[in-house]
Amino acid sequence: MKLATEVDIELNNGKKIPALGLGTVASDDPKDVKDQVITAVKAGYRHIDTAWFYGTEKYIGEALKELFDEGVVKRDDLFITTKVWPSFYHSPEKSLDQSLSDLGLDYVDLFLQHWPVCLHGDENGLPKAPKDANGNLEYDDDPVTGTKFIDVYHTLEDILDNTSKVKAIGVSNYSIPKLRELLPKVKKHIPVVNQIEYHPHLPQQDLVDFCEKNKIVVSCYSPVGSGGAPVLKIPLVKELAKKYDVTENEIANAYNILNNRVTLPRSSNLERIKTIIRLPPLTKEELDELYQVGVNDPHRYICDPWGYGLGFKWWTGDTLSKEFD
């Protein structure tokens, strides 16, 4: 059977991104991420997805140093993504410098704007989720009507053009309305990727089609629906795992990869990281059937408060977004 670790997807800048990337949000102790990265790279993963926000970059840096020192891989063999968080929106290069220093790298392959939102962080991007006296998030720009998020993307373009610290730039958590606002204003570099929640329970075909039309690769976070892995409980996922004699996780990843999307699983279980790398050859009919699961029963599992109002469908409690329908 083909391996997911061997599939690359072409980006709009002519470079390639490995379709299987290891997610690095810490499940418990951030230090555990070091072994997760070492295990993944030794198993053949060549793509690590991280962010300043996750607080795990130092441990990823330790893992990379060990892997490079032992000659397991060279820097050029890996594709590493990091992101600038909304509370650090005013200083993307400072955020990037901190990420590079923690990772022990001179450059990242991809630098993403984590959310199209501007939160009121200090010069070091802290606190990460600033709140006012009433417990509401403190924004520096209206999350629904503000346009500062476009300036942040312009700064990413400047970093790409004027430094050697990033090879490509992109976005994350951009809905269709936000992409519609950004794309006509891009100076020179269309985002290569939009990283969003995507799995068989979340049928965002309109967003995927919009990205495809604009040559933006969709990168899927929470491929099994995050904590509790609800996607793995879908009867069709179980049935297909049995049919192809693979794990349910591999069906969830194949659903993305065979549709030309990047998939970003995370696990604290080293055995699981190692063993979920096969790519079962699901048929077009099976991929379509998996899509229908979400059409009939849609669920979004990551409904962070800073995503409220961005125009995503099935965002629990989001009434602001209705105006975008």
Catalytic residue list? 54
Integer Cα distance of 266 and 302 in angstroms: 14
Nearest in space to 124 (alpha carbons), one of 90, 80, 150, 151: 90
Stretch that binds ligand NAP, among 127-135, 148-156, 161-169, 226-234 (CB under 6 A): 226-234
Integer Cα distance of 163 and 158 in angstroms: 8
Near ligand NAP by CB under 6 A: residue from 226, 239, 318, 320: 226
Q: Which residue, 210 or 221, is less far from ligand NAP as judged by CB?
A: 221
Per rule CB under 6 A, is residue 229 in the interface with ligand NAP?
yes
Residues 18-37 that bind ligand NAP (CB under 6 A): 23-25, 27
Strand 110-113 relative to strand 169-172, pairing: parallel
What x/- string results for residues 78 through 117 when contact with ligand NAP is judged by CB under 6 A?
------------------------------------x---
Closest distance of CB 206 from ligand NAP, Å: 19
Q: Which residue, 23 or 311, is less far from ligand NAP as judged by CB?
A: 23
First-last CA distance in the chain: 42
Retrieve residue 295's tokens.
Answer: 């059409």
Give backbone dihedrals phi and psi of 204, rounded to 5 degrees, phi first: -100, 55
Residues composing the chain: 325
Integer Cα distance of 197 and 222 in angstroms: 6
Retrieve residue 88's tokens.
Answer: 């650090």
User: Which residues are CB-contacts of 158 (< 8 A; sequence separation ≥ 6)?
Assistant: none
- The CA-based angle 267-8-282, given to 5 degrees, is 70
Per rule CB under 6 A, is residue 302 in the interface with ligand NAP?
yes
* Residue stretches of the annotated binding site: 114
Stretch that binds ligand NAP, among 67-75, 145-153, 206-214, 265-273 (CB under 6 A): 265-273
Closest distance of CB 226 from ligand NAP, Å: 3
Per rule CB under 6 A, is residue 232 in the interface with ligand NAP?
yes
How does DSSP assign 251-271, residue by residue?
A: HHHHHHHTTT-EEE---S-HH
Q: How many residues bind ligand NAP (CB under 6 A)?
A: 27
How does DSSP assign 216-252, residue by residue?
A: -EEEEE-TT-STT-GGGG-HHHHHHHHHHTS-HHHHH
Closest distance of CB 49 from ligand NAP, Å: 4
Near ligand NAP by CB under 6 A: residue from 267, 308, 311, 313: 267
Stretch that binds ligand NAP, among 5-13, 70-78, 130-138, 225-233 (CB under 6 A): 225-233
What x/- string results for residues 158 through 197 when contact with ligand NAP is judged by CB under 6 A?
--------------xx---------------------x--
Q: Which residue, 132 or 297, is less far from ligand NAP as judged by CB?
A: 297
Q: Which residue, 64 or 285, is less far from ligand NAP as judged by CB?
A: 64
Residue type at 233 in one-letter notation:
K
Q: Which residue, 27 or 136, is less far from ligand NAP as judged by CB?
A: 27
* Residue stretches of the annotated binding site for substrate: 114
Per rule CB under 6 A, is residue 225 in the interface with ligand NAP?
yes
Integer Cα distance of 104 and 61 in angstroms: 5
Integer Cα distance of 238 and 133 in angstroms: 47
Q: Which residue, 70 or 304, is less far from ligand NAP as judged by CB?
A: 304
Cβ–Cβ contacts within 10 Å for residue 288, how many?
10
Which residues sit at the interface with ligand NAP, rule CB under 6 A? 23-25, 27, 49, 114, 172-173, 195, 221-227, 229, 232, 249, 264-269, 272, 302
